[in-house]
Chain A
Amino acid sequence: MPWFRRKKENISPESKKTDIPDGQWSKCSDCGEIIHNRQLESNLWVCPKCNYHFRIGSDQYISIILDKGTFKEYDKKMISANPLQFEDTKKYTDRISETIKKTGLNDAVITGTGKINGIKSAIAVMDFRFIGGSMGSVVGEKIARITDVAYQNKIPLIIVSQSGGARMMEGAFSLMQMAKTSSRLARLSDAGIPYISVLSDPTTGGVTASFAMLGDVIIAEPKALIGFAGPRVIKQTIGKDLPEGFQRSEFLLENGFVDFIVNRKELKDKLTLLIDYLT
């Protein structure tokens, strides 16, 4: 007879969660530190305790990278036309309109021009909040067009990637965006105009296997998940657990696929310096 009887219900994982007052505070998903949002913002959404880089939106990258008030957005109104009339458990059109409403974004990338420490540049920033940052026709076309803006104006191109890959709901159209964006980057490259690829968490699938891996210089935020196949799929295929740190930025650096890892607070200065060398 045990001294103590187990209560009817186990302690649920829910009860371990620290309650955070709405909207004011954020919890670091790496070290668990509770940080006031204003402090987090002034620290560019990097945990002051453990240097964990919070996943942030495209608008935040724009404000971090570009000089204040210099951003001019292109193709803002472009939205998906649902070419396959795709429907799974939900209609793709509904998914799109709900996501637009929820995020205030029209698709998973914003593009435009702006100044980086005074240097005029073309920029594209992806956004994971919009259907996992997936690339369909809109993302592909906007990336292609902003590449052409860089090409025509002879200004450097920066693309911040943050994507789960090509968007399933547009089938082969999504796949072809990989070829479309890569071919435009080929032309940019032939013209000797620099393209710097910035990889944030996560960058996987068809985005990694196209423009994200084609930068003249490729830099990554710390500990970002970067790869072709998702870790779950790989684990299933090989039937083994994946090693610690697999497919993280540091792993790619070690294997020779990124040039360096950049702390978000140094991102703008590093981009400025690189552009200086590449122009």
Chain B
Amino acid sequence: MAKNTLDFEKPIVELENKIEEMKKYEGQLDISGEIKKLEEKVEELKKNIYQNLTRWQKVQLARHPERPSTLDYIYMMTKDFVELHGDRLFKDDKAIVGGFAKLDELKVMIIGHQKGRDTKSNLYRNFGMPNPEGYRKALRLMKLAEKFNKPVITMLDTPGAYPGLEAEQRGQAEAIARNLLEMSRLKVPIIVVIIGEGASGGALGIGVGDRILMLQNTWYSVISPESCSSILWRSWDFKEQAAEALKLTADDLLEQGIIDRIIPEPLGGAHKDPQKMADILKSILIEELNNLLKIKTDKLIQYRLEKFGKMGVYKE
């Protein structure tokens, strides 16, 4: 069975394997009719499974190890990327990457969380969990973009800000808070895209903007389903229920008015066809940017303030 198959995908893979097996004998036996039938069945099964994913299954897809990362999208969508490093204060955090790039002719600053794909690269990237210097690097790049009037695109994909001793010592909370404040008044357009996991303050730390877009199979919430389960149910075993209760999928967040748009993914998830995913994302980003670039700066900031001001539900 293929590597990285999720539990709910197993029936599909089993059927696909069977077809492969049958194809080996196709020359010897007349089974093309059978194969065709099975292939139709697979397609139907895929549609059935992928269009009825539970929230927890979407969380699993959002974390899929083969899912495209920020750098993958940068390489697939842009040209002339110049990566910029360091926060000028402490060090270069590998869990956040950024730099100038060209989306066709549009010059932009792209910043995003960066996960690894295997153990080695994940250790190098700290599993996409930034330390304070990551947020400060992101802010430095945003200020640079502002100074030279380039729009900013941020890509969110993190299991959370790193909960480490040194992270606390160097002011993890201050670094995130500072970004929220500065992003809310940055004088260039900001588009935020959730490309994988949007876990809490660690995600929001580069997530304030004018348009918030979410890929179809991603999640964004105040806490991960596992941590929520461990706190509220006092056990790690209630992650599925926690995922349901948190209402953390793209559909949920669109309904809650927190995001502006869902970006469709290829059937089975972004990793099934990364180039197609990148093409879809690119065309949407260009469309969104062109709209935002028409808005005057003071209006842009005012709308941004109002946008986040509207989020929340209460009775009075």
Contact = CB atoms under 8 A, between A and B. Distances in A.
A228 B309 contact: no
B234 to A, nearest CB: 8
B177 A174 contact: no
Contacts of B258: 172-173, 176
A171 B248 contact: yes
A205 B201 contact: yes
Interface in B136-169: 161-165, 167-169
Contact of B222 (A166, A247, A251, A255): A166
Contacts of A83: 256, 313
B146 to A, nearest CB: 14
Interface stretch (A47-55, A97-105, A179-187): A179-187
Given A81-B313, A180-B308, A175 B222 contact: yes
Interface string A100-141: 000000000000000000000000000000000000111011
Contacts of B25: none
- Report which residue of A137, A140, A213 has the largest number of chain B beta carbons within 10 angstroms of its beta carbon: A213
Given A234-B163, A246-B165, A257-B171, A180 B228 contact: no
B232 A89 contact: yes
A210 B172 CA distance: 11
Nearest to A140: B312
Interface residues of B, number: 56
B41 interface: no
Interface string A40-82: 0000000000000000000000000000000000010111110
Given A81-B313, A84-B246, A175 B168 contact: no
Interface in B195-212: 200-201, 204-205, 207-208
B174 interface: yes
Given A81-B314, A83-B256, A137-B312, A88 B247 contact: no
Interface string B226-239: 00100111000010
A87 interface: yes
Contacts of B169: 251, 255
B312 A186 contact: no
Interface in A234-255: 234, 237-238, 240, 242-243, 246-247, 251, 255
A206 interface: yes
Contacts of B208: 179, 182-183
Contact of A177 (B176, B207, B242, B312): B312
Contact of B176 (A171, A180, A228, A237): A228
Given A87-B245, A176-B311, A185 B181 contact: yes
Given A140-B312, A176-B311, A246-B165, A170 B222 contact: yes
A168 B223 contact: yes
A86 B246 CA distance: 7
B262 interface: no
Interface of B: 161-165, 167-174, 176-178, 180-182, 184-185, 200-201, 204-205, 207-208, 220-223, 228, 231-233, 238, 241-242, 245-248, 252-253, 256, 258, 304-305, 308-309, 311-316
